[in-house]
Amino acid sequence: MSAVLAAALVLSPQAVPGLKEWTLDDFTVGPYTITLAGGGTDNHGFSGLDRRHCVFGQRRTYVDINSNPNHTTLTLSVGNHEQRFDSPRQVAWGYDLQYGYDGPMSIDLSSVDRFLFDCDQIPDTPIINVRDAQGKSGGNGGWLLMPGGIYFRRQAFTGNVDWKHIVFLQYKQDFSSFPNPLSYSVTKFYARLQPGAIPPAARVP
């Protein structure tokens, strides 16, 4: 665990009893592994995923190596309750984790208070973008620390989107293994709901 995340164990507020959590992706379905070399890219999508484990039923991963002077490899693996990157030193890459890229469907996220990622490192400039069924977009790059990860408050998103009908969610991240090798793991993407809220079901318009 990074020193920054370790500090969050002391500085961040703890979970409040009685608040419900809703798993959006536990990375147990749609297993996938790819190893890229040099300046490679990879764009891979899964549809028809079990929505008990991946709420949108779809997940797309997009990796783009933008600096790799030593021409080494980068490995992405998804599955077994984990999304993981393993990189030798001096590699920089961008990564998109996308949900709802291949509609038609929508998710009611109006009861969400915050989006959370359990992870062992902090990406460079993490951002969540969303789009609703009418094509309106919003985003939030104002991540906050929590014990063992980071979170994004829904009320801090820009854009006047209809949170009852979200058709696309994108988690954009940048990484660099300068000067040391980097291993990065996310074990769960989930939401903490507003007090008294119940996780809604996915809806097909």
pLDDT reported for residue 9 = 32
Give backbone dihedrals phi and psi of 45, rounded to 5 degrees, phi first: -125, 150
What's the pLDDT at 16? Answer: 44
Tens digit of each residue's pLDDT (9 = 90 or more) over 98-125: 998 766 678 999 999 999 999 998 899 9
- What integer pLDDT is reported at residue 42 of this predicted model? 97
Q: Structure tokens of 31?
A: 């297993």
Q: Are 158 and 181 in contact (CB under 8 A)?
A: no
According to DSSP, residue 16 is labeled P
Flag residues of the chain having pLDDT under 70. 1-19, 102-104, 201-205
The pLDDT, as a whole number, for residue 77 is 97
Task: Return the pLDDT at 101.
Answer: 74
Full-model pTM: 0.87
- The reported pLDDT for the residue numbered 166 is 95
